[in-house]
Each structure stands twice: as C-alpha cells, then as structure tokens.
C-alpha cells in the first residue's frame, strides 16, 4: 500500500491504495468521482481524460494508465471540477451544439478539448483532428465535436 497526497478539483486528498492503482480507479472507486469514465484501460480511447496541472498549465492525460504512485503531490482536474455549473466555454459550446448522443465519452472529449483550447485558442480543423483523434466516440458525434470546439474558440476558451 502507498499513501499518496494529491489535489483533485482544488481539494487535497490523501489516499491509501496499492501503488499501481491507476488514477482512474482512485477517482472513481475511492474518491467517488464517477464523471471520469472507463473505456479501455490502456490509454487507447480517451474516455478517462483528465487534466494534470503543472505550473498552472493544464495537460490532457489518460487517467486509466497513470499509476497513482507517480502522482504524489500532483494537481488534477476532472470533469466535475472543470466548472461548478457547466459554465466553462467548452461545456457551453457542447450544449449549444447538442454534441452528445449516449454521452458516455463526452467528459473525456470535453477535457481533451478544454486542454487543446488552453494551449491553442484558435485551432484549425487539422489541429482539432490531431488533438481529438485520441478520444473515441462510438455514437458518431464527430462533426458536432468539431463544431463545438470552433464555437468555444470563437467565444474565447476561458481557462
């Protein structure tokens, strides 16, 4: 067992878990934050995408393949912490464009899009494709994801 302290959505947590437990299962089964989804367990589908904050910069990471032992002292933001009320520019754009079908992959899509826009406020299609191809959607919301990212970019991707 390992004792790990990390910040999730601005709150400090100390967890006592197996050191190889991926961040995903710490979030879901230990901390009760089920907004981050399991899809593949091998960083292939992106459903588990969260932000790791370093020096104030958000990077999209796949939580299913990130052992908790590597995250002592880390700062993580999940879909629950992206905004209190769905007011993040990307969430608003997702609502305006009616992106989801089943909705299961969308927290991962939104976190990946938010990280993209934080790094590149005006991405072109090719950059969107490149940043978002790592997050699978089986329902076929692809065109709406592109449109929503453009909308969020035009509205100013805050954060």
Partner 1 sequence: MSPRQGGRVGAPTSPDGGSTSPARPTRRQFLKVSLSAGGGLVVVLHGPWANGNSAAAAAGVQTTSDDFRAGPFVTVHPDGSATIYAKNPEIGQGVKTSLPMIVAEELGVAWESVRVEQAPYDPDRFGPQYAGGSTGITTNWDRLRIAGAGARHLLVAAASNRWGVDPADCSAANGVVAHGTGAGRRELAYGELLTEAAGIQPPDPESLILKRPSEFTIVGTSRSDVDLKEIVTGRTRYGLDYRVDGMQFAVIARAPTFGGRVRSFDAKPALAIPGVRQVVEIEPLDNRAYMSGGVAVVADSTWAAIKGRGALVVDWEPGPHATESSETLRDQFSQLIEGKGEVVRHDGDVDEALSSAVTRLEAVYEVPFLYHATMEPMNCVADARGDQIEIWAPTQVPGLCVALASIVTGVPREAITVHMLRAGGGFGRRLMAEYAAEAAAVSKATGAPVQVSCTREDDMRHGYYRPAGMYRMSAGLDGDGTLIAWESNVSTTSRHAFRGDEDTAAETEVFPDALPGAAAPNFRVTYAPAETSVPTGALRGPGKNATTFVEQCFLDEIAHASGQDPVAIRRRVIGEPRELPYRDHGGPTFQTGRIRHVLDVAVEESGWNRSLAVSSDRSGARPTGRRGRGVAAHMMFGAYVAHVAEVTVANDGRVRVDRVVCALDCGIVVNPIGARAQVEGGILHGISAVLHGEITIADGGAVEGNFDDYPLLRLDEAPEIEIHFVESSEHPQGLGEMAFPGIMPAVCNAVFDATGVRVRRLPIDVAELRFG
- What count of other Cβ atoms lies within 10 Å of the Cβ of residue 17? 16
**Which CB sits closer to partner 1, 54 or 124?**
124
User: What is the DSSP annotation of 54-109?
Assistant: ETTEEEEEEGGG-BGGGGTT-EEE-HHHH-SSS-SHHHHHHHHTT--SS-TTHHHH
Least distance in angstroms from the C-beta of 52 to partner 1: 17
Least distance in angstroms from the C-beta of 17 to partner 1: 8
Identify which of 123, 126, 85, 92 has the alpha carbon closest to the alpha carbon of residue 110.
92
Residues that bind partner 1 (CB under 8 A): 1, 17-18, 20-22, 25, 28-30, 32, 34-42, 44-45, 47, 78-80, 82-83, 85-86, 91, 94-95, 98-107, 110, 125-126, 128-130, 132-146
**Which CB sits closer to partner 1, 46 or 52?**
46
Least distance in angstroms from the C-beta of 140 to partner 1: 3
Least distance in angstroms from the C-beta of 53 to partner 1: 18
Beta bridge partners of 53: 58
What is the rounded CA–CA span in Å between residue 3 and residue 15? 6
């Amino acid at each position: 067992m390992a004792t790990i302290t990390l910040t999730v959505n601005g709150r400090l947590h100390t967890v006592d878990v197996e050191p190889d437990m991926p961040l995903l299962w710490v979030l879901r089964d230990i901390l009760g934050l089920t907004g981050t989804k399991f899809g593949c367990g091998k960083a292939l589908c992106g459903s588990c995408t969260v932000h790791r904050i370093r020096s104030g910069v958000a990077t999209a990471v796949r939580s299913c393949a990130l052992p908790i032992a590597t995250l002592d002292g880390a700062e993580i933001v999940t879909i629950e912490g992206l905004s209190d009320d769905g007011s993040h520019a990307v969430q608003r754009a997702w609502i305006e464009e009616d992106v989801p079908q089943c909705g299961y992959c969308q927290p991962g899509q939104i976190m990946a899009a938010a990280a993209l826009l934080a790094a590149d406020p005006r991405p072109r299609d090719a950059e969107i494709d490149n940043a978002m191809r790592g997050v699978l959607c089986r329902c076929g919301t692809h065109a709406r994801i592109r449109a929503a990212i453009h909308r969020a970019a035009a509205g100013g991707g805050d954060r």
